[in-house]
Amino acid sequence: MKTERTIKQRSTQNILLSLFCVLISLIGYSQVTSSIDSTAIKIGAELFYKIHVKTDSTTLVVFSEEQTFQPLEMINSYSIDTTKKEGYYQLTKTYGLTQFDSGVYTIPKQKIRIGENIFFTDSLQVQVNPVVVDTSKQKLFDIKPLIEVDKKPSKIWRTLGFILLALLGIGGVLYWFIWRKKPMSEAEKIAALKPYERAKLALEKLDEERYFENEEIKTYYSDLTLILRQYLDEKVYEQSLESTTDELIFRLKTLEAANQIKLSKETIQNIETILKRADLVKFAKSKPDYQLAKLDKNTIDLEIDHVKEGLPEPTEEELLQDLAYREALARKQKRKKIKQITAAILGVFLITMIGLVIRSGFTEVKDTVLRNPSKLLLEKTPWVTSEYGAPGITISTPEVLQRQIVELPEEMKGKVQTVTFAYAGTDTPIDVVINSSKYAAETDEEGKQKDVPIDLLKVAEGVLDRFEENGTKNIITRNEQFITPNGQEGIKTFGTAEFLVEDKLVKGAYILLGFSTPNLLQQVILTWKEEDVYADQIVERILNSIELIKLTKDDK
């Protein structure tokens, strides 16, 4: 959740003041004790850990059944043994613990709920001794040689490889069917020629000998005159194909008389003669000999040249019309090309997205494409691992925490030294705040210095009270013990709430970690939006990185 819900609604100074106001002396309780049957065991042996509680018959006592004994492992949880004594009952809960590595281990404090109150046992130390092996009776073997293991590429590289192969494959298909300059067929090559070149090529391919061998004289003259008529239709008279011989000849004479084409009388006469002979062959079943048919072909070839020479030069208007036509055709082809490329890009995108959704899931792909801020923060590399405060809290965060300037009230000056670091703002999906405070030792009536004990539960309650003052509603809270990876013990207060953000209540989650020694309070505050899986992973990673720097005598 946007961290403005905490930093924007309350200053870090208010958090600190709420912590200072709730500090009271720790009160020890003697009604809860713990014991172990031995302070030293062998690797794998069972250690009996007992918790004794003195209470009355009406008070509810709840023992933990979870694995809260790390670094030791709980292997058995025995039934509660109840003993009635004068005026009270003594409950004894026994756990079977073990450890499979030698060394010195500390059993952490255990949480016991008695009625509405929470109590903690003392921590106990256990020595785990190794098992001595008699090498004279137990055979020893050489260490097995190293075996090379084929490392599979990481998920992201596999995904990138899959996308690359898909894009190459789709690009190859698009190139072959759309962008590749395809070889023209014979018909396309002929259609692309100019009318004169097309007519000359058709005459060249007209094999009169083949027609006469197969006695296809009618077909021969039909094909011969069709070549001539097609050329005249394209260059001289647009109705040459459907006109009769007399109509076509009349039109040629009219055009020649109007000086629209320069044709000699001999040319017109030769064209008329061959067309009428073709009509006789087609309709009167006339059969010219081979030599005459060959001569007619040569005559048509020659007269096409004469017609081409007699055509007038195109006017400027005709040239402009032709240029406009060619430009329009080029624009049309360009638009077609753009549409093809756009369709190809969309196709590649859709296929890639479908493949990624199948492989990684819709949510993963959506958050990657839309650049989910929580996901970007989680995947940021490298994370910053740094120490904050003195004595410090070592923690890993996606971004470095910035030191905050906090002005203490006059009554607190000289009594406490505090530093605060935070990562927060309107664009951050999670708030991280670290407070570290040292308190001056108090003096008793005899003038001797005494330490200032700190109640972490009261400190957490003060922070929650501050949440409520800033408009937070429906706060649900739980408390449990928290142990850092380096064995430092603290209290974890966590839960959900509805935080007030820009006049709207937004569901979120929070974790308050408190650590204390006499005269020292250290706290980590995390708040984020509920149901944000990436924020949950960020929080888990941060929690697993927290380590407290142990105090030395000089620090104390």
Q: Which residues pair with 393 in a beta bridge?
A: 388, 548
Q: How many residues does the chain have?
A: 556
List the beta strands (DSSP E) in 276-392.
Answer: 384-388
Distance separating alpha carbons of residues 495 and 480, to the nearest angstrom: 11
pLDDT of residue 48: 92
Strands 430-439 and 416-423: antiparallel
Secondary element (H or E) of residue 509:
strand 504-517
Rounded CA-CA distance 319/330 in Å is 16
How deeply is 74 buried, as exposed, middle or buried, from its count of CB atoms within 10 A (0-12, 13-18, 19+)?
Answer: middle
DSSP secondary structure letters along 107-130? EPP-EEEETTEEEEPPPEEEEEEP
Q: Considering only CA atoms, which of 462, 490, 491, 464 is closest in space to residue 477?
A: 464
**Which residue has 């992201």 as its token pair?**
156
433, 495, 431: which is closest to 461 by C-alpha?
A: 495
Q: The pTM is what?
A: 0.44
Residue indicated by tokens 């969309």: 346
What's the angle, vertex CA 451, arms to CA 449 and CA 454, rounded to 5? Answer: 155
DSSP state of 197: H
Which run of H or of E encompasses 410?
Answer: none
CA–CA dist 165, 159 (Å, integer): 10
Structure tokens at 413: 């000056």
What is the C-alpha to C-alpha distance for residues 234 and 133, in angstroms, rounded to an integer? 108
Answer whether CATH 3.40.1000.10 is correct for domain 4-25+382-548.
yes
Q: What was the pLDDT predicted at 494?
A: 93
Which runs of E-coded beta strand occur in 130-212? none
CA distances from 391 to 133, 308, 416, 511 (A): 44, 103, 14, 22
pLDDT by residue for the chain (556 residues), tens only, comes to: 444 444 444 444 454 444 444 333 233 334 788 898 888 988 888 899 999 888 887 778 888 777 788 888 888 888 888 888 777 888 898 999 998 888 889 888 888 888 878 888 888 889 988 876 655 655 555 666 665 544 445 455 566 666 777 777 777 776 776 666 666 677 777 777 888 888 888 888 888 778 888 888 889 889 989 999 998 898 888 888 898 999 999 998 898 888 888 889 999 899 999 999 989 988 888 888 888 888 988 999 998 998 888 888 766 776 677 677 678 877 887 788 788 777 777 777 777 777 767 766 777 767 766 778 888 888 888 898 888 887 788 899 998 898 887 777 776 777 778 888 998 766 678 889 998 888 777 666 666 666 667 888 888 888 898 888 888 899 999 999 998 887 888 999 999 999 887 788 889 999 999 998 877 888 999 998 888 888 899 999 999 989 887 654 444 4
Rounded Cα–Cα distance for residues 526 and 431 (Å): 6
Strand 81-85 relative to strand 111-114: parallel, antiparallel, unpaired? unpaired
CATH topology for 186-311?
Four Helix Bundle (Hemerythrin (Met), subunit A) (1.20.120)
pLDDT of residue 180: 65
3-state secondary structure of 491: strand
Token pair for 409: 């009230």
Closest CA to 349 of 165, 160, 163, 162: 163
DSSP structural state of residue 87: T
